[in-house]
Amino acid sequence: MAQAVPVRVRRSAPYLARKYAASSLETRPVIGGHAVTESSDAALPPLLSEENTLVFSNGVWLDSNSKAGLNYSDGEVQERQLERILHEAPDRRWDAAGLAQNHNDWALEYHLSPLRANILRGLMLKNCKTVLEVGAGCGAITRYLGDQGFRVDAVEGSPVRAQLAALRCHGLEGVSLVRADINDLNLPPATYDLVLFVGVLEYAARFSGDNSSAEFAVKKMLSQAVASLTPDGVILVAIENRLGAKYLCGFSEDHLGRPWAGVAGYPRFLGADAGIQTFDSVQWVKLLESMTLKHRFFYPLPDYKLPQALVSEGAAMAPGALAVADRFGPVSRSSGTNGMAPVRLQQTAFHDAGLDDYFADSFGIVIGAANDVVDEVLTHQWVVFDQPWAGKPQGLALRVGEQTPRAFVDQSSSEFLRSLPSGEPLLRFWLRYAAATPDEESLIQLIAAHYRQVRDQELTHDAGSLLVDYDGQLLSECFPWPDDLSLTRQFDCPSWLEDALDRFLAYGGGDLSFFPALKDLDSPAGLVKQVMEAVRDSDQLSGIGNEEGRFPYIRTDASAIDLTHVAIYWADMEEQFSEERCTSKPCRLEGRQRVKLALGHNGDRIGRLRFDPSNHSPRFLPDQLVLEALTICTEGTENKIDLLQAFSLSECESNDLQITTENDKIKLQILGSDPWLAFDLSLLGRQWVSQPTRVEAVMLWIA
Decide: residue 617, CB within 10 A, 0-12 exposed, 13-18 middle, 19+ buried.
Answer: exposed
Higher pLDDT, 200 or 127: 200
- In this prediction, residue 323 carries a pLDDT of 96
pLDDT-wise least confident of 32-36, 499-503, 681-685: 32-36
Higher pLDDT, 207 or 604: 207
* % of the chain exceeding 70 in pLDDT: 81
- In this prediction, residue 12 carries a pLDDT of 31
How far is the C-alpha of 279 from the C-alpha of 266, rounded, in Å? 10
Higher pLDDT, 209 or 685: 209
| Averaged pLDDT, 74-86 | 90
pLDDT-wise least confident of 38-47, 219-228, 618-627: 38-47
Write down the H helix ranges in 403-546: 426-436, 440-457, 493-512, 526-539
Q: Model confidence over 452-487: pLDDT tens digits?
A: 888 888 887 889 999 999 889 999 889 988 765 444
Q: What number of helices (H) and strands (E) belong to the chain?
A: 22, 31
Mean pLDDT of the chain: 82
| Averaged pLDDT, 667-680 | 84
How far is the C-alpha of 266 from the C-alpha of 260, rounded, in Å? 9
Does residue 108 contact residue 78 with C-beta atoms inside 8 Å?
yes
- In this prediction, residue 636 carries a pLDDT of 57
- In this prediction, residue 194 carries a pLDDT of 98
Residue 570 has pLDDT above 50, yes or no: yes
Does residue 595 contact residue 604 with C-beta atoms inside 8 Å?
no
- In this prediction, residue 563 carries a pLDDT of 64
Q: What is the DSSP string of 11-47?
A: TT--HHHHHHHHHH-----EETTEEPPPGGGS-SPPG
Q: Model confidence over 286-345: pLDDT tens digits?
A: 999 999 999 999 999 999 999 999 999 999 999 999 999 999 989 988 876 778 999 999
- In this prediction, residue 68 carries a pLDDT of 66
Residue 600 has pLDDT above 80, yes or no: no
Higher pLDDT, 89 or 70: 89
Q: Model confidence over 357-401: pLDDT tens digits?
A: 999 999 999 999 999 999 999 999 999 999 988 888 889 999 999
pLDDT-wise least confident of 242-251, 408-417, 582-591, 656-665: 408-417
Residue 5 has pLDDT above 80, yes or no: no
Q: Model confidence over 172-218: pLDDT tens digits?
A: 999 999 999 999 999 999 999 999 999 999 999 888 877 788 999 99
- In this prediction, residue 103 carries a pLDDT of 80
Write down the H helix ranges in 184-320: 214-227, 245-248, 273-274, 281-290
Q: Model confidence over 627-636: pLDDT tens digits?
A: 888 888 876 5
Residue 236 has pLDDT above 70, yes or no: yes
Highest mean pLDDT among 213-227, 660-674, 675-689: 213-227
SS3 135: coil
Give the other-Cβ count within 10 Å of 407's Cβ.
19
Higher pLDDT, 279 or 626: 279
Q: Model confidence over 409-421: pLDDT tens digits?
A: 765 666 777 778 8
Does residue 183 contact residue 169 with C-beta atoms inside 8 Å?
no
| Averaged pLDDT, 660-681 | 81
- In this prediction, residue 334 carries a pLDDT of 81
Our measurement of the distance from residue 141's CA atom to the centroid of its chain's CA atoms, rounded to an integer in Å, reads 15
Grade residue 673 by pLDDT with cuts at 50, 70 and 90: confident
pLDDT-wise least confident of 129-138, 286-295, 441-450, 537-546: 537-546
Grade residue 687 by pLDDT with cuts at 50, 70 and 90: low
How far is the C-alpha of 329 from the C-alpha of 622, rounded, in Å? 41
| Averaged pLDDT, 585-603 | 73
Q: Model confidence over 635-668: pLDDT tens digits?
A: 655 567 888 776 665 567 888 888 887 767 788 8
* % of the chain exceeding 90 in pLDDT: 46
Our measurement of the distance from residue 163's CA atom to the centroid of its chain's CA atoms, rounded to an integer in Å, reads 26
Grade residue 549 by pLDDT with cuts at 50, 70 and 90: very low
- In this prediction, residue 121 carries a pLDDT of 95
Does residue 294 contact residue 367 with C-beta atoms inside 8 Å?
yes
pLDDT-wise least confident of 259-268, 437-446, 522-531, 632-641: 632-641
